[in-house]
Amino acid sequence: MPATEYQGSFLGRISIRRNQIASMDGNHEQDLEDLEIFQKHVADRFSDLLSASDATADASVDPLLSIAWLRKLLDVFLCCEAEFKALVFMGRDPSHIARPPLDRLIPELLERVVKALDVCNAVTHGVESVRHWHKLAEIAVTALEQRPIGEGQVRRAKKALSSLVASMTVEDKESINSKATERAWSFGRRGSKDRIAGQFRSLSWTVSKSWSAAKQIQLMLGNIAAPRGAESTGLASPVFVMSIVLSFVTWTLVAAIPCQERSGLPTHFPIPRQLPWAQSIIGLQDRIGEDWKKKEKKGSAGLLEEMQKMEKLGQSLIEFADSFHFPAEPERVEEVAAQVTELAETCRKMEEGLGPLQQQIREVFHRMVRSRGEMLDILDQAGKVSSPIM
């Protein structure tokens, strides 16, 4: 069943059942069943992402960390987030949220959301850098598609590709966003939400040059702990699942797309391997983490599949330009033509996918803003319910 279909089925099930039940206190078995379904959906969705990334020989499959694959990842996040809210909050007495351990875990999750919002902003700006590289690659493709290939076309292609490769391989801290240190960021601490005409908007200030995407991810992962004992069958469990999903998705975006200061990006997640829903996430994390360790040593701009292809093809075509003499040997022209065709196809995918990806990141951002506001309201209600009457 497609993700959106079983998401709708799950949300409908919870809505109907909780409308029929006045009190949830004596309904632990139903909660356990809903928790099991939620965890199964998480497992199935990430298993699909892992399986797709393994099918490298199938040209119709979206490679791991390609633009199309990242869009599927964001779809998975949106589905998981909607089901999480339904499971933990829909139809529940706010006083349940005021009880341990949720009185601690929900505020901690909200702090992770704050950091994830800033990461989304940084990644959105990173997509703009990718768009610039895409334009440079298109210049090179247009020049090298000319026939016959002359010295003028080769010089123009080399200039564009040299700028492309140089900007993609310098250290993140010294390159990406170094010219744009003032950006619109999300929130401060709890309670700093702003509603205008029923809509949330970001708060803006000057971001420090020392802001670090890697540090944000480290802080998101720092206090995540799997629930134990009785907590493992209660609402602490879906909060843990959602914390991991949120952290994994933002970590993946940071690894794939250039953004400010990624040196030291963590590659370990605090997930017990025996949890059935966690196996596919761990598998993806292991694969991406290994690739990141290799790329980080080179100061690479990121792991986005299209960017890696662009970098590899760009370097090869620069070598061709360096040794070019008119007229070029027919065999060499044929080899270069194949590389130019591949680069043109990469550019096409970027042209079609970068805009929708950027829009989807914004959608995730605004969904988290709304959800955070809703959860803050519930926490406020829970605080009033639990406060003693004077």
pLDDT in tens, 120-160: 999 999 999 999 999 999 999 999 999 888 999 999 999 99
Q: Which of the two residues, 31 and 297, has the higher pLDDT score?
A: 31
CA distances from 124 to 65, 100, 108, 354 (A): 16, 37, 25, 10
pLDDT in tens, 181-236: 444 445 444 443 343 333 334 433 345 778 999 999 999 999 999 999 988 889 99
Using alpha carbons only, how large is the chain's radius of gyration in Å?
24
- Per-residue pLDDT, averaged over 50-58, amounts to 69
Tokens coding 254: 């940071």
∠ CA 305-263-188, nearest 5°, is 100
pLDDT value of residue 180? 42
What is the structure's pLDDT at 56?
Answer: 54
Dist CA 276 CA 368 (whole Å):
26
Of the candidates 103, 112, 78, 86, the residue with the CA atom closest to the CA atom of residue 34: 86
Task: Please state the rounded mean pLDDT for residues 233-257.
Answer: 96
* Comparison of pLDDT for 283 and 185, the residue scoring more: 283
